[in-house]
Amino acid sequence: MRIFVQPRSGDSFDLTIRNAVEILQRAHLLSVRAGGTVNDRAVVLIGSEEVLKALATLAGEGLRVSLT
């Protein structure tokens, strides 16, 4: 599944993706992959079985995230 992550003020899409992937890897989510950008939004890919934990983890780190 795709998780869209809003960059923090001044952060690039690439930095946002790298940070999100690192956060999720530290949380031991095994299916996480960098997804690049889609329609000018930073994307992280995650397996459907881990999506709820991923959303909670990223939100807990202060990142704004959404699914589509």
- CATH number assigned to the domain comprising residue 54: 3.30.70
pLDDT tens profile 24-65: 999 999 999 999 999 888 999 999 999 999 999 999 999 999
Domain count, the chain: 1
Give pLDDT, residue 39. Answer: 86
Give pLDDT, residue 37. Answer: 94
Give pLDDT, residue 19. Answer: 96
With a CB cutoff of 8 Å and minimum separation 6, the contacts of 27 are 53, 54, 57
For 48, the domain range is 2-67
Sign of CA dihedral 13, 16, 22, 25: negative
pTM for this model (two decimals): 0.92
Percent of the chain as helix, strand, coil, to the nearest 5:
40, 30, 30
Give pLDDT, residue 12. Answer: 94
